[in-house]
Amino acid sequence: MSEPGEPGEPGSRRGREHNAKGAREAILNAAEAIFAEHGFDGARIDAIAALAGYNKSLLFQYFGDKLSLYVAVNKRIDRDNSEFGARVLAPLLEDETIVTDAHRFRTFLETAIGALFDYLLEHPRLMRIILWEQAEGWQTFTKIVSQFETEDIDQLRTPFSKARSAGLLRSDFDPLIQLVLAEQMCWSYLSSIPMYQTFLPGEDLSSTLAVARAREHIVAFIVAGMMVDPPETKP
């Protein structure tokens, strides 16, 4: 039998903390699903509470209001995005010689954009939340963006500026916008597969092979648009 205060005791402090953490995660998971399905304006606290399996008063106790809950959901997404970005950008940030070598920089971009495509493919809720924000004119995002870290944005500008100075990039257009445009091309394609399918009913555009072919095309298209053409080799 557990003594009072041990982890297995429901009334203990540690037991309550564990239950609270589980409840918060369940609420965040449910909220992410509802926001992805209905957008911020269309999401209802009652629906989130029902999906999470908790009384809506607990949602207000933990998160305050719907906007604060939306912030919490997006902060969790942002942490995951930041971890992904750190992994993908690590070679570029650790080895400055990449931005002066055309072949290595091209390989980096191809790897990074391919990884981004894969990440979005594995996170459909993220894509749907982005699409809802876009459809609603980013009105909710502009209210909450100040609550997110932006240090990684500045980290991008320096190496991309060096790559531009080395003559590897076509344009000095802001690297953040260039990468966001690359991201948009990835999630635009992935979210539009049902539309493309209506035009090509005889093909399975959701198959592993079809998605891989799309990935290859999109990566090549983006990199070719960003980088200066390699010099022609004489026969």
pLDDT in tens, 8-30: 333 333 344 448 889 999 999 99
Give the per-residue pLDDT at 163: 93
Residue 73 burial (10 A CB sphere; 0-12, 13-18, 19+): buried
How many of the other CB atoms lie within 10 Å of CB of 189?
Answer: 19
Q: How far apart are CA 118 and CA 156, in angstroms?
A: 21
Digit-by-digit pLDDT tens for the chain (235 residues) are 333 333 333 333 334 444 888 999 999 999 999 999 999 999 999 999 999 999 999 999 999 999 999 999 999 998 998 888 888 888 887 888 999 999 999 999 999 999 999 999 999 999 999 999 999 999 999 999 888 876 666 777 888 889 999 999 999 898 889 988 999 999 999 999 999 999 999 999 999 999 999 999 999 999 999 999 887 765 5
Q: Give me the residue spans of the domains in the chain.
A: 1-64, 75-226
Q: Two tokens at 121? A: 């493919």
Other beta carbons within 10 Å of 80? 13
Which amino acid is residue 41, in one-letter code?
D
- Determine the pLDDT at residue 150: 67
pLDDT at 234: 58
pLDDT at 68: 96
Contacts of 233 (CB under 8 A, 6+ apart): none
Mean pLDDT of the chain: 88
Residue 114 has a pLDDT of 96
Q: Which residues contact 73 (CB under 8 A, 6 or more apart)?
A: 28, 31, 32, 35
pLDDT of residue 88: 86
- Asked if CATH classification 3.40.50.1820 holds for the domain at 1-64, the reply, yes or no, is no
Task: Tell me whether domains 1-64 and 75-226 share a fold.
Answer: no
Residue 21, number of CB atoms within 10 A of its CB? 10
Q: What is the CATH number of domain 75-226?
A: 1.10.357
Quick one: pLDDT at residue 220?
A: 97
Q: What is the DSSP letter of 148?
A: S
